[in-house]
Amino acid sequence: MDVPAGLVESAFFKLLGCRLHSLGDGVAQVALGLEPPLRNRGNKLHGGALFSLVDIAMGLACSSVHGFDQQSATIECKINYIRAVSDGEVLCTARVIHPGRRTLVVEAEVMQGDKLVAKAQGTFAVL
């Protein structure tokens, strides 16, 4: 999918240090490296950074379905954390599982290599 960078890479996307891995057909993959500003007091990937990664990937997956000319907003996002991340990079894969006209349901997995870090479910509204 060929989309101008300004519509994919928001200022917050860049601030976190996200990297678009792939995008298209209701699926988005976004990578995030564990940099010092993203660490919590326990020196692990901060939950807020992980939540933001999931929300970004889910939003991009939604836009790949309803078009980048429309906006969507997160109605609900739930994350189940499986394990902490202390180094390296994580990859979030978000998939639209219900592409409704006004709402979309999305699932996501965050992986570090072959290890599951988190699973998420979200609902987005097309504005």
Q: What pLDDT, in 10s, does the model give residues 45-62? A: 999 999 999 999 999 999
Measure CA 2 to chain center: 19
- Is residue 107 a part of any domain in this protein? yes
Domain of 95, CATH number, reads: 3.10.129.10
Contacts by 8-13 with C-beta closer than 8 Å and gap 24+?
Answer: 8/60, 8/68, 10/56, 12/52, 12/56, 13/56
Instruction: Identify residue 90 by its one-letter amino acid code.
Output: V
Domain count, the chain: 1
Q: 4 pLDDT exceeds 80?
A: no
d(CA 98, CA 100) in angstroms, rounded, equals 6
Give the structural domain span for 41: 9-124
- Is residue 57 a part of any domain in this protein? yes
The predicted structure's pLDDT at residue 109: 98
Please report which residue ranges of the chain form alpha helices under DSSP H. 5-8, 11-16, 47-66
pLDDT tier for residue 1 given thresholds of 50, 70 and 90: low
